[in-house]
Structures are given as C-alpha cells and as structure tokens.
Chains A and B, each alone.
Chain A
Amino acid sequence: MKMNRRGFIKACGIMAGYAVLGLNTVRTAAADVMNFVAQRQKSVYDADANSGIYKYRKSQDNPMIKKIYDHKDGFLHEGPCGHMSHHLLHTHYVDRSARVAALKDKGFKFNL
C-alpha cells in the first residue's frame, strides 16, 4: 500500500501518541486487567477455605451428593458413569469444521 500525505500524518500522530504516553502505559493496562482478575480469583480461594461459607471442601463429602449416588435408593444409584448418568449427564460432540473451512475457501483468514 502506498502511503499518501494524510496517511503519513496519521502515522506520525499515532507515533507521537505512543511517545507521549510511553509503552509503559500499554504494559500497565495489561497488568491492570490481570490484577483485576487476580482479585476475583483470590476471593474464590478464600471462600473455598472459609468453613463459614463452605462446610465441605471435597465434592464426595457433600451430603446431597451422597444422597443422589446412594447405592440403595439414590437417583443415580448405579454410581458415576452408570446408565442413568449416561442418559442425563453425558453428551456427544459434533464436527463443526466445515463452515470455517468454507469461509477460508472464500478468502477469510483466521488464526488457526
């Protein structure tokens, strides 16, 4: 692509913007996002370790899990991956590659 006068001024303007604000701003912005996520993550682990919120910390210790998987009269009495589990709780997957392949044939470019 040939650069015209307007394009050149635009590029200079953007470079000036970078020069004024500094690349550090970009790095700080990226770090801010991850700090934000880290605060939510910390809160999750704090709740997990707080016995006032979660009395049990392992799925197999949940009394309602013991009830649903009870060998005698539990709804899923055959245990995990049993017949009822397979009917209600397991699934299958579909090959969805054809539509993206068709888009690529039309000239669209994707990352993969």
Chain B
Amino acid sequence: MRQIEGVMYQTNAPKGVDPDGIFFVQVDATRCEACGSCEEVCGTGAIQAINEDGIRQVVDPAACMNCGQCLISCPYGAIYEGVSYVDEIFEKLKDPDTIVVSMPAPAVRYGLGECFGAPTGTYVGGQMHAALRQLGFDYIWDNEFTADVTIMEEGTELIQRVKEQGKKDARPLPQFTSCCPGWVKFAETFYPDLTPNLSSCKSPIGMLGPLAKTYGAHETKSEARKIYTVSIMPCIAKKYEGLRPELADSGFRDIDATINTRELAYMIKTAGINFNSLPSQQPDPILGDSTGAATIFGNSGGVMEAALRLAYEVLSGKKLSNPDIKVVRTHEGINTADVKVPGFGTVKVAVASGLANAAKLCDEVRAGKSPYHFIEIMTCPGGCVNGGGQPLDPEIRASLFRSTVAQINKRFRARKVGA
C-alpha cells in the first residue's frame, strides 16, 4: 500500500483479467470508524455493514460501479483503491523502445492544481500538458479531442435514431449517453433491457485508445505495437473500463494503463517537477486540439450542451450564434428541457447525475412513459469534476460533526471489547 494525495492505493497493475472480479474500491476495516458516510452516498448499496460494530465493506465487485463516491466522502481515509498503474508507467517512460502517449480527460485540468495549492477548480490545462512533457510522455495527446469526436458520432447517431422512428428495426428512443463508465456498468447490471437505448459510441477515452494506435501511429510514423496509451481520468471506474476485453479494436489493447488526477499529481511530485513554475503549453497536434464543447464534458449537462451545439446546426441548417445552452447545465438532481430547433421542432432532453436519479429516469423509460429524445447520465453528482479520482475536498476530512459521532461510536465499541 502507498499513500497518494490522502488516499491509500494497492500497487497492482492487472493485465488480461476479468475486471468484474477486482475490488477497485474497498474499505480498510482497521481504519473504518463505522460512521456510514459511504453507505449514504452509494448508489447501489454495494457498501454495507458486515458486522454488529458497523464496519463497512464493498460486499461484491459485481454490485459496485467503481465510482468512488464512498472514497471521496469518507472522513477517515479508510477507503482505498485496489488498482494503480503508477509504477508501470514510470518504467515505460524510462524505456526508450516504448512510445508513451498521454490522454487526460477534461475534468483533470480543473482538479490537478488543487494538489499544488491552487484554489478549488483552478484551470491548469497548459501546465498539465507541460508537466506531462517533462515526465517524458512522447506524445501529448488529449482526451478532449475525442470528446469532440464523440459529439460527431453520438450526435449523428441521435439524428439517425430520430429519423428512423416508425421504420422496421428502428433503434429505440430516448438515446442515453455512454461516456460515463459507472453509468454504463450500472445500465448493464440493473437495466440490461435498456442497453439498446445506450448510444453505441464508446466513451471519449474508448475512442482515443484505438485512434492513437491506428490514425496516430500512421500520422506520426510510429509502430503501433510500441505505443503505450495512458488514460488520465478524474475517475476510478475508468480503470474498469480500460480492462474491458472488447476494447481491443486497434489490433492491440486500446488502453494500456489508467490513472486518476491524484496519481498524476503524485507522479509530478515524485519526479521533482515544480508544477507551479511551469509555463502553459499546448498539446501535440493530430489528436490533441479541442474546443469548448469538449471541455464541458466534465460537468453534468456538458455532453448534452455540446451535442445540442452540433444537432442545432445540422437539423436547422443555421449557425448557432450563441453556443451557451444554459438550460441544460445541471448542478444537482434531474434537469429537463425543451430545446426548440428551427425547421425541425422540439428536442426533449433530460440530464441527471447520481445513480438514484438515473434509476428514476430508467424506470420511466422501462415503463414506456419517457417523453425524451436524449438523456445524459453521469454517476457522480455534478459530473466528472466531482469524480472519485479527483483531489479530496478538504472540508470532508475536517467535518466536526462526523468525527464526533464516530468517536462516540468507537469509544463504546472499545468498552464492549474490553468488558
């Protein structure tokens, strides 16, 4: 075990195994104070008391969506991550025969700075690219580029689905987004009958992996077999996604390693890089350039807004003069909106974050009562910016109320044992 930005990690980099058997998140029973914060935030109930003292455990990986909301809500640092590729990535960066490619998600650049003392939410995209270059990554590519690709693919798929309604073999509406790996596993586990509603698009990182080893390899005249792709995410569930056996369409494993924002901060600190003095740098071309539509993927409602910026122009044939579609921006809960597109009609959309809210929308679809065309779902409340792999909120560890209650509990437990 190793401590990284306040969270314990097992140093284990699995290869070619079934990710369904791995505990990506687990409770260290010796540090659990039985306060129950984890159970309150768990969307599926996978984390439960396992004895009379109220010590919690993730009871089975099959019921856990690997989102890590329990981990970031634990006031005692009792929840650890089961998978970390940090050591393997350091080895690959040293190996002159390996072409290491960086693939950071949008939300990473709004959290990373906090590990170096910046105020909450500070944008550090330019410094992040500079740090990745200093760490020795060969190509500074960016998952935001494939967020733009996702909009092209998923937006086109939505328009196709709308047009084919009423025809034979039409794909069903509403279309669900498929960017969030916790939500995708949730749909597969608890609503398998609704997977035809899930967009067939891979997530942006699921697209960047195979593009790096085909298009990227071709454009940079690199040997695809030498490319090692590192997915850098605000998320723990992306570690599960990276191990999905079907993600091997480039002829190799599409995603070789997955780390999160905290682990990237740890790598930068371990390498002795002075992050705060780094200049702002651009990503490398081919698979690096992105737009505002891509960066808002980090927020709940962002994929929806980015998709509507495309759908509006394609369906109406007109330019969208003001790209701000603020009605879909979602801070908490479920948000619904009717978006009027000239020459087409009304596009009915819903945006939700948190799995309890997702379940409400899924039940509606299952009952055949859903009026929507397009539904965006994120597992983490507020979206990826609040992902389980992001730097911790310092307030949670300092919560006076929770620590008081837990201390009372612990004292009485201790007496019971002693008696």
Contact = CB atoms under 8 A, between A and B. Distances in A.
Nearest to B313: A60
B249 interface: yes
Contact of A37 (B152, B381, B416): B381
A100 B329 contact: no
Given A44-B298, A88-B250, A56 B291 contact: yes
Interface stretch (B1-9, B80-88, B393-401): B393-401
A41 B382 contact: yes
Given A21-B400, A99-B62, A57 B412 contact: no
- Interface on chain A toward B: helix, strand, loop, or mixed SS? helix
A40 interface: yes
Interface residues of A, number: 67
A20 B210 CA distance: 57
Contacts of A99: 20, 60, 62, 189
Interface stretch (B120-128, B131-139, B222-230, B267-275): B120-128
A93 B184 contact: yes
A26 B184 CA distance: 32
Contact of B110 (A20, A44, A65): A44
Given A56-B291, A68-B149, A95-B192, A6 B416 contact: yes
B412 A10 contact: yes
Interface string B140-158: 0000010111011101110
Interface string A16-51: 010011000110010011101111111111111100
7 smallest CB-CB distances across A and B, nearest first, come from A48-B292, A43-B121, A99-B62, A37-B382, A80-B156, A40-B385, A57-B292
Interface of A: 6, 9-10, 13-14, 17, 20-21, 25-26, 29, 32-34, 36-49, 53-65, 68-69, 75, 79-81, 85, 87-97, 99-100, 103, 108-112
